[in-house]
Amino acid sequence: MKDKGISILLSISILFTLVLLGGLSWALKSYLFESQKVVELPKQLVEEQPGEKNTQKEGKFILALGDSLTRGTGDPTGKGYIGQLIDELQSKSKEKITLSNMGIKGQTSAQLLSQIKEKEIQRQMAEADYILLTIGGNDLFQQGQTLVDPSPTMIEPLQKAYLKNLREILQQLRTLNKDATIFMIGLYNPFSYLDDTLHTSQIVREWNYQSSEVCAEFPLIVYVPTFDLFQLKAEDYLYSDKFHPNGEGYRLIAERVASLINW
């Protein structure tokens, strides 16, 4: 009995050794000797999965786009205003809320514009019931560089480019999705505790005004101001980097947006 078992074991091993040898030589052949050949992606192999597009249609689908504020930088719980907003909405409503957070830290309006040209993002944009947007902070402050020389000659080209990008972004959103409400979160002045606060505040106010004007060009876009939230006690609501909101600061923004969403 034992002898037979060993013979079988041996023959299986030998057989599989040959299979493995085949696999190895195949790999070698296709990698070492056919590397010059450029292979086109054959279309018929690409998986077709129709009917999957509608899986997200139950409940509400919220899409968040933007920069570090959307990401939640500075919030110790990592939620950011988006996370707190979802929590709040979920406590008010029984409906299932699906969130897709596409925020990228440090994103500028130009980068967002190229991000929303991606296919998958566009698919989500088309499906969303609500779209939340924070953008512009990095365009204006440029990681604090703007503060070195906040002169009109410096700001003006920045603002011009930003407004052009913003208009294009909103245009894209509206073309893809006519029904979703879009909330554009305005900027606050993180430097209001500094001495020349009058000057930076003026710049931010002007920036916000121009953004809201662009938003008004499209239907169903709500411009949500945050300037006033951080105006008086900025230090209490800012994270230790003195730029991003802390947990409390995000809560303020979340509450404001939550009061605007009703279904």
Partner 1 sequence: MIKLIYNEMLKLVRKKRILVIILIVAALIPLFTYAQYKVAQTVEEKLGTTDWRATLQQQIIDTQNRLSSSRISDEWRKQIEIRLAQQQYYLDHDINPAVPGAPSFTRSFLDQAITLFLPLMVMVIAADLVSSEFSGGTIKLLLTRPINRWKILLSKYITMIFAVSFMLLVVSVLSSVISGLVFGYGGWTMPVITGFTVEGGELVTSQVSLLPQWEYLLMELGLVWFVCLVIGTLSFMLSILLRSTAAGMGVMLATLIAGAILTNMASSWESAKYLFMLNLQLTDYLAGMAPPVEGMTLGFSLSVLSVWGLAGLLTSFLVFTKRDVY
Q: Which two tokens stand for residue 34?
A: 């056919």
> Pattern 146-165, binding to partner 1, x per CB under 8 A?
--------------------
Q: What is the DSSP letter of 29?
A: I
Binding of residue 110 to partner 1 (CB under 8 A): no
Which CB atom, from 20 or from 232, has the smaller least distance to partner 1? 20
Binding of residue 51 to partner 1 (CB under 8 A): no
Angle between helices 119-127 and 152-176 (to 10 degrees): 70
Residue 46 C-beta: closest distance to partner 1, Å: 6
β-sheet with 60-66: strand ranges across: 97-101, 60-66, 130-134, 181-185, 221-224
Listed ranges 76-84, 96-104, 199-207, 234-242: which one lies at the site for partner 1 (CB under 8 A): 96-104
**Within a 13 Å sphere around the CA of 105, how many CA atoms are in the beta-carbon half?**
8
Binding of residue 78 to partner 1 (CB under 8 A): no
Residue 245 C-beta: closest distance to partner 1, Å: 17
Q: Which of 4, 47, 76, 152 binds partner 1 (CB under 8 A)?
A: 47
Q: Which of 1, 50, 52, 152 binds partner 1 (CB under 8 A)?
A: 52
Binding of residue 13 to partner 1 (CB under 8 A): yes
| H-only helix segments in 29-151 | 68-71, 80-92, 109-115, 119-127, 137-141, 145-148
Number of residues forming the site for partner 1 (CB under 8 A)? 54
Binding of residue 233 to partner 1 (CB under 8 A): no
Binding of residue 91 to partner 1 (CB under 8 A): no
- Within 8 A by CB and 6+ apart from 179, the residues are 129, 220
Q: Interior CA angle at 231 toward 229 and 236, to 5°?
A: 75
Q: CA-to-CA distance for 146 and 158, rounded, in angstroms?
A: 10
Q: Which residues bind partner 1 (CB under 8 A)?
A: 5-7, 9-10, 12-14, 16-17, 19-28, 30-32, 35, 37-39, 41-42, 45-47, 52, 55-56, 59, 71, 96-106, 118-121, 123-124
